[in-house]
Amino acid sequence: MKTLRLIHTADFHLGISFRNIIGANVQEARRRDFERNVERIFDEAIKRRVDLMLICGDIFHRSDPSNRDLVFIAKQIGRAIASGVRVVAIAGNHDKPKVAGAVNPLKALVEAKVPNFYFFQELPKEPLIIDIKEKNMRVGIVPIPFVDPRVVRVATKGTMSYDRFMYRIINKISSDTRLEDVDAKILMGHLTLSGARVKRIWGI
């Protein structure tokens, strides 16, 4: 029996401001706390020798992260890949650029052709197929980054609900014939849940 080992994570929110929290050096202390926890996640992926690490959006809290945050996450991704972990990431509502034509800095790793790193800022036209040769496995992934409801309203001229639009997109990609010849299928998404109520959390 073929076994796939993976770690699913999301919402690192690197670079979030803590200015509303009072105290000496609190901002830097909380920043380091965030970094340590992200490091721990990557440590676990490496220690457990996972095949895939899925990061489902909002690696950064902003679409224009600081150099410090970009270098930090590039280092974590680099050491995971060096240990044989394949990393797949998608953009979330915080780190997806709001301006047409702008790109998330993680695209730089894609353009540099960093092996076994995949990043999706926009909706893909087809599923991602990954061959895990050491296990003789093929994995099909449908990566769905955040899609702004306002974009859907404009694209459909208000004739289709957000839920319906996303359902059609996911169904179309999931129906791709390339997914018929895989050992495992995975749907990744940074999505809103129909019927959910969002609670405002102080300080965020």
pLDDT in tens, 78-128: 999 999 999 999 999 998 887 777 888 898 899 999 999 999 999 999 999
Q: What percent of the chain has pLDDT over 70?
A: 95
Give the residue with greater pLDDT, 22 vs 49: 49
CA 74, CA 77: separation in Å to the nearest integer?
A: 5
- Cα→Cα distances 104→11, 19, 122, 159, Å: 15, 25, 10, 30
Contacts of 72 (CB under 8 A, 6+ apart): 14, 35, 38
Contacts of 49 (CB under 8 A, 6+ apart): 5, 83, 84, 85
Architecture of domain 6-189: 4-Layer Sandwich (3.60)
Selection from 7, 2, 65 nearest residue 38 by Cα? 7
44-50: average pLDDT: 98
Give the alpha-carbon dihedral of 52, 178, 131, 186, to 10 degrees. 10
What average pLDDT does the structure give for the chain?
A: 91
